[in-house]
């Protein structure tokens, strides 16, 4: 299967500060990758670097056969990378529908009607402003907005953080449905078990470097090894 994303020798951070070093990873089309690690090890920085929000010191990022490491953020999005940031970043003074429509781009399966079908709660709240939504509704809106760009790669940075268990279950089921919908997905999630249950491959970061990579199913079946890997370093 063709590669969706290929990263080689990535060194990146914020200004002169280096956070990530020697990052290599590959994700095939319609593949899924979990990124695990303790807080502060570089998970969000890696996602932000793929999207173009950090300082790239060296290395390459190839998406869908095209080198993108020097492209600005908006061009990466237009090529088909959807980003759901940890902060959600919805527009509080726009309605749900306006938030979705402002991100509409490209020909593909994802339309306003399909997002509403995928998240019926957004249809119910379509006229509400972003600052009138609950945390779970805001996260649905953030994911739905990313889908409106008809991405080939969807990047999710801790989409379940701070949400109630009921909403977590709803969103995890939505993420699993996305994985069945021919999307390539990168997922950062604090719950290792949830992340491993939902993805095919996994990398573990520590101090800005990849310390383990392999099959999600392997670590799921070997919890003692997972614990040792997460505690190392």
Give the H/E segment covering residue 221: helix 216-221
Mean pLDDT by 10 residues, the chain (233 residues): 93 98 96 95 97 97 97 95 93 97 87 96 97 95 96 95 91 89 92 93 96 96 90 65
b (16+ CB within 10 A) / e for 195-233: bbebbbbbbbbbebebbbeeebeebbeeeeebeebbeee
Residue 79 region by backbone torsions, left for phi larger than 0, else alpha for psi between -120 and 50, else beta: alpha
pLDDT of residue 63: 98
pLDDT of residue 123: 98
What is the pTM assigned to this prediction? Answer: 0.94
Residue 198 region by backbone torsions, left for phi larger than 0, else alpha for psi between -120 and 50, else beta: alpha
Whether 78 contacts 107, CB under 8 Å: no
Whether 13 contacts 55, CB under 8 Å: yes
pLDDT of residue 182: 82
What are the boundaries of each domain within the chain?
Answer: 31-43+80-232
Q: Does domain 31-43+80-232 have CATH number 3.40.50.300?
A: yes
How buried is residue 120: exposed, middle or buried, by Cβ count under 10 Å (0-12/13-18/19+)? exposed
Give the H/E segment covering residue 197: helix 192-198
pLDDT of residue 82: 96
Report the distance separating Cα 86 and Cα 71, nearest Å: 22
């Amino acid at each position: 299967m063709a590669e969706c994303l290929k990263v080689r020798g990535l060194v990146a951070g914020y200004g002169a500060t280096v956070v990530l070093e020697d990052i290599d990873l590959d994700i095939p089309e319609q593949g899924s990758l979990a990124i695990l690690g303790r807080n502060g090890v570089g998970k969000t920085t890696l996602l932000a670097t793929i999207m173009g929000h950090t300082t790239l010191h060296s290395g390459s990022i190839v998406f869908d056969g095209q080198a993108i490491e020097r492209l600005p953020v908006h061009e990466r999005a237009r090529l088909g990378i959807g980003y759901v940031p940890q902060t959600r970043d919805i527009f509080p003074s726009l309605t749900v529908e306006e938030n979705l429509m402002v991100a509409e781009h490209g020909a593909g399966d994802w339309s306003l009607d399909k997002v509403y079908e995928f998240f019926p709660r957004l249809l119910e709240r379509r006229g509400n402003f972003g600052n009138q939504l609950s945390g779970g509704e805001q996260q649905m809106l953030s994911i739905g907005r990313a889908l409106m760009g008809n991405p080939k790669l969807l990047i999710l940075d801790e989409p379940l953080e701070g949400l109630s268990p009921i909403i977590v279950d709803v969103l995890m089921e939505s993420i699993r449905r996305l994985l069945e919908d021919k999307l390539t997905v990168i997922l950062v999630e604090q719950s290792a078990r949830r992340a491993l249950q939902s993805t095919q491959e996994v990398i573990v970061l520590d101090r800005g470097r990849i310390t383990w990579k392999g099959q999600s199913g392997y670590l799921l079946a070997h919890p003692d090894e997972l614990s040792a890997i997460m505690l190392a370093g």
